Structure 1
Amino acid sequence: MTDITTENYADVNARAIDGWNAQGWEWGTPLSHEEYLDARQGEWRMLLTPTKPVPPAWYPSDLSGLRVLGLACGGGQQMPIFAALGARCTVFDYTPSQLESERMVAEREGYEIEIVRGDMSKPLPFADGEFDLIFHPVSNCYIEEVKPLWRECHRILKPGGRLLAGLDNGFGYAFDDAEERVVCSLPFDPLKNPDHMAALDLVEDGIQFSHTLEEQIRGQLQAGFQLVDCYEDTYGEGRLHDLNIPTFWATYAVKAG
C-alpha cells in the first residue's frame, strides 16, 4: 500500500499486528488454561502498560454480572480473566488474529463473549450507558486522534462507570531504535510528516502516533471523566527502561453518576 491515509491506516496496523502474532508477540499470546483456572481461584493480575500490574483498588470489588468492554484489547489475555471473575464481556478490536485468540480461549474455557471487529477511530457501535467498565491497554498510539475516543468511552459507560486506560506518553517516539539519540520531532504523526513516515517500517511498525498529556489525560477530563488515580511505567526493556525513564501512563477515571 503506497497511499496511506486517515481512511486506511487501520488496515496497515491490522496486518502488522497479525504479523507480530505469527512471530509470537507478547501482547497477542493468549492466557493459558492454568492461568484461567488460577483466575477462577482469585489468583490473577492484569496489565494496562508493559510492567506494572493494575492496582486491585481500580477494579470494582465484585465483577459478577458487570458489563466489561475490552477496548482494542484482543489477544485473549484480559477478557478471559474478567470472564473468570463473572463479568459479561465484550471485546472490540480491529486485528483478526487478536479476535481469533479471544474466540479460541472462550471456546476452550466454555464462557460466552461478544466479539466485535471494529476501528476505534470511528464511533463505537454500542449504546449509550451500555458498560460498567472499559479496559483499554496501550493501543491508542495506533490512532491519529484520541479525543473523539474519550468522548465515545464516556457515552457508552453507565454513570459511575470506570475507564481504565494504558497510554503511551509519546516520549519514546523522539528517539532512534537504540534509544540513544533524539531523531524525531513531536508530535510523531506519519500522516502529516513525511520524515516520520520514512522512519517507519510498515510491516514491522505499522502506523503509529504520539499523543500528549493534553490529548490523553486532559482529553479524558474534557470528555466529562473524573480522574481518580494514575501511575507511570517504562517499556520494561531497552535503554530508556534502564535509565528509569517513563514512557507510559495508566489512568483510572470515572463517569460522574
Structure 2
Amino acid sequence: MSEYIKKNQQTIDRWIEEGWQWGEPLSHELFLKAKQGDYSIFLTPTISVPKSWLGSLKGKKVLGLASGGGQQGPILTALGADVTIIDFSEKQISSEKQVAQREKYNIEAIQGDISERLPFEDETFDLVFHPVSNVYIEKVQPVWEEVVRILKPNGELLAGLDNGINYIVDFNEEKIVNNLPFNPLKNPQHMQQVESEQSGVQFSHTIEEQIGGQLKAGLTLLDIYQDTNGTGRLHELNIPSYWATRAVKNG
C-alpha cells in the first residue's frame, strides 16, 4: 500500500470521528423501509440512483467497491442481495459490521485497497456499486480492469465519478485557482493545498479516464446523469461536479 493511500485512510477515519456525512450508518428505521422497497441509495451527493438501475437484486452477488460506512451495504442487503463490501477505512468497515450485527444479517466486509488487485475470483459478482471514491487514487484504469475481471458476463457497474470541477476552485468556491489535472504527487502547489486543508491526497480525473476507461476495459455505457456537491457555491449555482454511470460487462 502506497504512502498516499495510508494518508487517505487516516484522513477518512478522522472525518468519520468528526461526523462526516458519508460515515453515518443507516438507521434501523430506514433499513426496515428499504426491506419494503422504500429507499434512496446514492452514488453521488444528492440524486438517488434510479431504481431501474438496480432492478431486482434478490439472490444476486453485489460488491460495494469503496462503499463502506454502513449506508449502501444495508440497503443492498435489504433488497435481497448477497453483499460484500471492500473499503480502505477501518472505521467504515467497522460501521458495516455494526449495522449487520444490529439488523442480524451476514455481510462480508473487507478492509482493502481498491487501487490494488481485488481479493476476489474472476466472474464473482452480478453488480458492482462504486460511489465517488476515485478521487483518492491516482490511477483509475486498473480499477476498471479489476471490475471487469470480477463481474460475471452481463454484470453491471454503477459508479459515481468526480468531473474535476471541485479541484479548480478555491476553498470558498469563488475563484479559479488551479490548473488540471490536480495531482499532489506531481504538483507541489497542489500538495501544499491538500495539506493545508487536511483533505488527504486527492486527484482529478478526465472523462477519458473515468468513462473512456470503463469502455476501454470492456464495459458498455447504458445510462448517465450528473449531480452537484449538495452544498456550497457550486451547488447553489447548479454547477455539476459529479457524474453517475451505469455500464454492463460485454457478455
TM-score band, normalised by the shorter chain?
over 0.9
Q: Summarize deviations over 1:4-41 as a string: whole Å, max 9, x none.
A: xx821111011111111111110000000111111111
Q: Summarize deviations over 1:187-213 as a string: whole Å, max 9, x none.
A: 000001111001113773011000000
TM-score by length of 2: 0.98
TM-score by length of 1: 0.96
Query: Does residue 1:87 correspond to 2:68, yes or no?
Result: no
Once residues 202 and 70 of structure 1 are traced to their aligned partners in structure 2, the CA distance between those partners, rounded to angstroms, is 31
How many residue pairs get matched? Answer: 251
SS at match of 1:199: helix
Aligned counterpart, 2:19: 24
Query: Does residue 1:231 correspond to 2:225, yes or no?
Result: yes
Aligned counterpart, 1:51: 46
Query: Does residue 1:69 correspond to 2:85, yes or no?
Result: no
Once residues 89 and 103 of structure 2 are traced to their aligned partners in structure 1, the CA distance between those partners, rounded to angstroms, is 22
Q: CA deviation at 1:171?
A: 1.2
C-alpha contact (below 8 Å) 1:15/1:203 kept by paired residues: no
Matched residue type, 1:207: V
Gaps of 5+ in 2: none
Matched residue type, 2:200: G
C-alpha contact (below 8 Å) 1:39/1:85 kept by paired residues: yes
From 33, 37, 49, the counterpart of 2:32: 37
Once residues 7 and 31 of structure 1 are traced to their aligned partners in structure 2, the CA distance between those partners, rounded to angstroms, is 31
CA RMSD of aligned residues (A): 1.0
From 164, 172, 182, the counterpart of 2:176: 182
Deviates more, 1:245-254 or 1:193-202: 193-202
Aligned counterpart, 1:132: 126
% identical aligned pairs:
57
Moved segments of 4+, more than 4 Å: none
Once residues 51 and 122 of structure 1 are traced to their aligned partners in structure 2, the CA distance between those partners, rounded to angstroms, is 29
Once residues 43 and 59 of structure 2 are traced to their aligned partners in structure 1, the CA distance between those partners, rounded to angstroms, is 22
Aligned counterpart, 1:157: 151
Once residues 201 and 35 of structure 1 are traced to their aligned partners in structure 2, the CA distance between those partners, rounded to angstroms, is 36
